[in-house]
Structure 1
């Protein structure tokens, strides 16, 4: 395509220094294309530097990042997108995330100003400046005005708040007690702030020669000095103090510079981030401004000040509490100056009543309304900093179609018949589960599914459904397969589907209303059908002794600013950095700030609600690392107090760089002892190859270098990142990335279908015979394919649906899966619960190259079989395993597996190519 789009970008920097700055641009719509660098021409206009570009394609939108050309710095953290319908010439201002489409607006923004400001403690304001200033000893010309009262609040000091992360490298890591796996945000090696112009760290070092340098702001890209400093400590050791002076970027140590004088104040420091101390504490509900001499004023937003105990509401009545005589409402809105309750007696009608709410305890507003409001609707109208917006109650338990209003319901009236007799189906230990991941729509939407309620919650209540060749489908197929637990992909109300359009599709990882079921899966999105029918789904599975785990996405919401959280308490519920930018650890543009007490309370209240109201048996936490160790520990403690058997697990990774402190991220190993599990991507990648390389092979698919990885997985990763096997979720595929069948085809395109089936069965045999919690993507038991699509979140039914005709086509594969699962369920040796049990009862055997063999001994975990041998042979030739003494009964060989005897062997046994052997004694 020879077409291109002309785009002119003007860029203003306050220091007029454009050296090494350029523009990175890419086609964004209609096609998300590759990016390229475009240089500023060197011809500056009165505004700043100019880049006259031609972006490939006939575009409607173009992505833009103004950056230093080595990516060491970006003008703003997040990507910008030019709407070409508004113009092909744009203006960008240093540090400003706004795209300006005319010069006059840009010029107004390009004067020195306070870019943003936060009240982060009772008397502490953090102010970001668009242009750095040189501080004086006093207040440096700053003023704070309470615009609500007209009063000025004196500023007593102004000091630099620029973040300094300073880390010592080389042998100093261990000498000063730092972690071996050092990273620039490792708190063990941070220099301590003495004053805004002085950072120091002291430690006693043994004799020796050391090398060090300082890494700044969590990055090696800005380190001082450029080369390591050499430091020699004399015999006997010495206490050494390391010093960094930010204003001059100088590094000193007390060995090389024993008599160095250091600054004692912030005078002369140049900074664009200033911490102000106020003479008195302002009212957080007032409209506050901060200004400085020569800088345009900016509104102050209360942020971390809201973490103080006085704003921590502990009650259990947030949202609405219904009775036939009256309904009470309570919302946490500590920064609001006014809150109104808007009541509607119908879903789409105009306001029926508008009532003023009253200030109450700990930043809440409340109101009780007499009369029976069952099936009425409501909104909150909240005024913050002079801006008034309407918001749906984040605690709403029912909503209108597409979440335009909250709904007041009698939850008892939503219970299906027999609900009071419904009981959880949770295991004695998480390792007793076999988890089966299913998307509600995918499970039944296929024309061959035999189910009436296609794509709906109620499909899980149908029995006797048949597919091609009269195979069992739906819930009967799950029972036949033998799984213990269904993990539902998100069923909390999400934003990407129009509930009035039945054919719209999405996985649902863009949450909107956390305490309400998604309406697209109900027979009607109106009223309370979504609540009752999800309960019927859970009840139906429970009646088959199958548990229900929810896939929950508390790490981010579908958007910010337009979200109800941000409308009610701006920026409190989301992580923001010192510059006021939303951090993006989720990769979705925001991350939920669970370290803030009331954000954490919301998540705790929400999971408690799902357990108590919907009888949920467990949770899978999306991007769980972002929720934080403190939050996950509290979730575990609270939910295990309600149901000791509840199963909690999640993804031990992030989707980007998080604003949460590194010691709080729940990465692999950080879950130890918390009563939660983590997805084991080690065994996943080890079995079928790196998921980000479609052609990569693994142990089961042709890579001969994964034996140690598989052994680690077999023992529940107890020598790696777990303290008990219940902490590892062993899997080979999930909804993310390719299905296993597609990955095998991509990585082994020349193999026969018969060999590829053997690879598939072998990979799953490893999962089901390893210690830990086995997990499978729904449909893998019939060689599920998505046509090679590795990110099918919005690809629709044709790609994502369970094709039930494949169960008939690959019935032998289904039977193999079923036999494996039943074998595991029947034999607790595969489900040991402690690391000590595994160490005492699992021994690896000598076996041929590129195979893994192990023995489970001595009636492990009270098994009925005394000894069990398992061998995995991924090689394309049969292999001989020399056996321990005695007579062994074959229960798994080739494409057969189960409890019945397939013969007896002594001395040695031939293990067929690409297969799993199981013997009992």
Structure 2
């Protein structure tokens, strides 16, 4: 039957209304826009937003995420403006502080500008997936825990009584999760037995969050293979009696590494009989080589030397002429996040000196007379009758003198500004000391990840331009924002190397000048009656995983950082949480404190 004219008009009107109320999927993707699709099985999208950074052309605050641009038959989607030269886009789907699936996610913009994300799935799909054909388990998550030599813990929620557990290992990695289970070449499967007695009391005392986990026992004949297994890609696969997949997950290793490889000897560079001996704790590494460089910038190492492994500590005895040369470690290690053996070139976490911008570690002897100001060995501390007599002034090292024209230009914003006794700042500091100030508390002065130490690259706001603006103007913020990426000002709470003074505060950021100048600063402050407190930050690092500024995690993946139940690095501190409850992270912290107290004579 032919539609009447009023009926047609009504249909057209309804179509127009719906077109405004229900945005459709983008018809054609703009080159300057990335589209992120998101699927939730429950269909509940209220409150979920998108945080974006890196290649995003807009600044997105965590508390004000991007709202969906529309909804289609897959789910909701966001449209993110991207920079013209961006190579990747970082993003997180979140609702308040709840992230889905959890870690930072990235879209490779060189391969396309559209991505699909499924709730709980770590993969970033570049073609639309079928959410209903999902795999069982997730090898990107590390939900099992290897806690002692012969025991693993598994969160057996709602599993049938006849569940069958297997430990899978692949020396070269390459495991693939399929609908039929975990497949790949070179995989060895070991049956695990449920221990009805549960996890041992000492394990639960150390890892109370594992209460309620099932204890899985490794067969006795496999125990001699444990050191080799810990260097492999690992997974726990769970099936029912009929072989149907119930779960698959990776394995966290800190518990068993602490039991088997806790070490209390020297690490880093130690001078023995006049020559350096280098030691690196890396129990899961397959091979470690020392790459020795004659200087801080040469492209190729002068030598590449194999290090010897003894119970997880890789050692190499050097020669006296190595003093002041630079080095990197080449660590071949299984990385769970990539499922492959990676060759990581990494600085020494126990480095005592560094090249500019921490690109290489330097072999130095802190007992070298050239690194000590005159009288350093006989330095006496200002008297302090009782702890309750302490009065403290907290100070940012660069702030103290960066704009003080009474300080020599080459000393401004650095350690040596505290040696210029007649500067305006030092005269004021002396007056405070005379009035009863006992301690100067310096904000972080360890090696900082987010300051460019190449001073030729610095750009700072023009003080005259700032001063010319009215007090109630918003233009000051705009001027500061223009140079925020190149301004060396930084609070310093981005730890990179814990044993080394920050290079940007030295007259020469390349090499050991920072050591001598830091000691000169401490000596000068002590001479004027002030003790020195150094702010330290051991609860997080700037980076983890395979990131360029990740040190610890590229040597022993998954050990030094505190992981969530799913095996992702926790970030409650702001950044990448460290796990000082693990023996060797605790040792690193205490060893660093000892260096600052004994070698730099820091008081607290």
For normalisation by structure 2, the TM-score amounts to: 0.72
1:464 aligns with 2:489: no
User: What is the total number of aligned residue pairs between the two structures?
Assistant: 489
Pick from 274, 279, 283: which aligns with 1:330? 279
1:10 aligns with 2:37: yes
Pick from 349, 362, 365: which aligns with 1:407? 362
Larger radius of gyration: 1
Name the counterpart of 1:156.
193
Q: CA deviation at 1:99?
A: 3.7
**CA displacement, residues 143-182 of structure 1 (integer Å, 9 cap, x when unaligned):** 52354785432122399x9xxxxxxxxxxxxxxxxxxxxx
**CA displacement, residues 805-862 of structure 1 (integer Å, 9 cap, x when unaligned):** xxxxxxxxxxxxxxxxxxxxxxxxxxxxxxxxxxxxxxxxxxxxxxxxxxxxxxxxxx
Distance 1:580 1:109, change over 3 A: farther
Pick from 440, 447, 450: which aligns with 1:496? 450
Which structure 2 residues correspond to residues 111-122 of structure 1 after superposition, within 5 A? Answer: 111-115=135-139, 116-117=141-142, 118-122=145-149
Distance 1:286 1:481, change over 3 A: same
Name the counterpart of 2:315.
366
CA distance in 1, matches of 2:162, 2:193: 7
Distance 1:78 1:150, change over 3 A: closer
1:144 aligns with 2:173: no
Name the counterpart of 2:17.
none
Pick from 587, 605, 608: which aligns with 2:591? 605
Pick from 229, 234, 253: which aligns with 1:302? 253
Pick from 489, 492, 509: which aligns with 2:493? 509
Pick from 569, 577, 580: which aligns with 2:556? 569
8 Å Cα contact 1:323-1:410 kept in structure 2: no
8 Å Cα contact 1:426-1:617 kept in structure 2: no
Q: CA deviation at 1:487?
A: 0.8
Gaps of 5+ in 2: 1-29, 173-185, 199-204, 239-243, 335-340, 459-487
CA distance in 1, matches of 2:552, 2:104: 23
CA distance in 1, matches of 2:439, 2:412: 21
CA distance in 1, matches of 2:217, 2:132: 29
SS in 1 for 2:367: helix
Which structure 2 residues correspond to residues 83-162 of structure 1 after superposition, within 5 A? Answer: 88-103=113-128, 110-115=134-139, 116-117=141-142, 118-125=145-152, 135-140=159-164, 142-147=166-171, 151-157=188-194
SS in 2 for 1:412: coil
SS in 2 for 1:154: strand
Distance 1:111 1:463, change over 3 A: same
Name the counterpart of 2:513.
529
SS in 1 for 2:164: coil
1:594 aligns with 2:549: no
Name the counterpart of 2:24.
none
8 Å Cα contact 1:27-1:56 kept in structure 2: no
Pick from 337, 343, 352: which aligns with 2:292? 343
CA distance in 2, matches of 1:17, 1:89: 23
8 Å Cα contact 1:90-1:100 kept in structure 2: yes
Q: CA deviation at 1:79?
A: 5.9
Q: CA deviation at 1:326?
A: 2.2
Name the counterpart of 1:278.
218
SS in 2 for 1:540: helix
CA distance in 2, matches of 1:554, 1:528: 23
**CA displacement, residues 179-202 of structure 1 (integer Å, 9 cap, x when unaligned):** xxxxxxxx9xx9996x66xxxxxx
Gaps of 5+ in 1: 162-186, 197-273, 619-921
**CA displacement, residues 548-593 of structure 1 (integer Å, 9 cap, x when unaligned):** 10011111111111311001111211100111121122122x2110
RMSD across aligned positions (CA): 3.7
Name the counterpart of 2:264.
314
8 Å Cα contact 1:114-1:127 kept in structure 2: no
**CA displacement, residues 771-803 of structure 1 (integer Å, 9 cap, x when unaligned):** xxxxxxxxxxxxxxxxxxxxxxxxxxxxxxxxx
CA distance in 1, matches of 2:405, 2:534: 26
CA distance in 1, matches of 2:217, 2:119: 27
Distance 1:355 1:429, change over 3 A: same
8 Å Cα contact 2:138-2:249 kept in structure 1: yes
For normalisation by structure 1, the TM-score amounts to: 0.48
CA distance in 2, matches of 1:127, 1:530: 48
Q: CA deviation at 1:368?
A: 1.0
